[in-house]
Amino acid sequence: MKEFNHYSVLLEETIEKLNIDPDGCYMDGTLGGGGHAIEVCRRLKAGRLYGIDQDGAAIEAAKLRLTRFQDKVTIIRGNYVNAKALLNSLGVEKADGIVLDLGVSSYQFDEGERGFSYRYDAELDMRMDIRSTLTAKEIVNRYPEGELYRIIRDYGEEQFAKNIAKHIVRERKKQEINTTFQLNEIIKAAIPAKMRKNQHPSKKTYQALRIECNGELDVLKNALDDLTDMLNPGGRLCIITFHSLEDRIVKTTFRQKENPCTCPPEFPVCICGKKPEGKVITRKPILPGEAELAQNSRSKSAKLRVFEKY
């Protein structure tokens, strides 16, 4: 296994917004290579960090990188959607800060055999947790054309989704689509040449397949209530997103938790009884600065939003 490399995007900004208490309890729900976790641990004294990741390679890499902080960190293999149950099983009910970095790691993109990248010829996989059964290959070869169209349109925001789905179904009747380069050629044929100039034609479709394969949007939606519930008063939830679908979920949920009232605007007083859970710290998302963009081009779509519990 090659070294698990992952540039931690918006690292300084995230650590600053966490307002770390040296004796507090923190959770990194997407541990990855441990970039954010290391910086949290450096600021802890009697405090503790719980790191969760579903990728076995990430877990092993994080254990190595966090060895010097082993008295301050507990590493758990799992999905952050189950964070509440995972931490409760260890006797932990509340945290003073939680981080989610929703980006696919550089390692996952660059390790060709994982099938995340259209740049390497590999089997279509895209599983973040190799213990799961659904792969991108299964989606491409088994999903009905209408479902493929919906996924590519909604999760990839791809304007040629209908044509791509049609081409996939037509080609898989001839032979099974097994590899990334096979899929690349099919997508390329489905998109007009003049529309392929600014970015790789497969980019949006690969995003869509990855989201479907890993249930990424459902996981995020289903996790947010538990994550905010886990916070102590004054605790903060910091979430870094990498595309508009994720960001929209986070932005909308944070706003609803800050202002949950469902009364009609003409009502003079609130009668629904719904109380705010906290406040949004970031009225606008925090974006990478010029220095970070120059160092890591993959950070250009990153957005950090922060919510503080009452």
**3-state SS track over the chain:** CCCCCCCCCCHHHHHHHHCCCCCCEEEECCCCCCHHHHHHHHCCCCCEEEEEECCHHHHHHHHHHCHHHCCCEEEEECCHHHHHHHHHCCCCCCEEEEEEECCCCHHHHHCHHHCCCCCCCCECCCCCCCCCCCCHHHHHHHCCHHHHHHHHHHHHCCCCHHHHHHHHHHHHHHCCCCEHHHHHHHHHHHCCHHHCCCCCCCHHHHHHHHHHHHCHHHHHHHHHHHHHHHEEEEEEEEEEECCHHHHHHHHHHHHHHHCCCCCCCCCCCCCCCCCCCEEECCCCCECCCHHHHHHCHHHHHCEEEEEEEC
Give the pLDDT confidence score for residue 104 in this predicted structure. Answer: 82
Contact between 179 and 123 under an 8 Å Cβ cutoff? The reply is yes
All structural domains of the chain: 11-107+216-309 (3.40.50.150), 112-214 (1.10.150.170)
The count of other CB atoms within 10 Å of the CB of residue 54 is 23
Dmax over CA atoms of the chain, in Å, equals 65
- Nearest of 117, 67, 100 to residue 227 by alpha carbon: 100
At residue 107, the pLDDT reads 74
pLDDT of res. 3: 53
pLDDT of residue 1: 45
pLDDT, position 307: 98
What pLDDT does 4 receive? Answer: 52
Place of tokens 């970015």: 199
> In the beta sheet, which residues pair with residue 190?
none
Positions of the chain with pLDDT lower than 50, given as ranges = 1-2
Q: Return phi, psi of residue 154, to 5°.
A: -80, -45
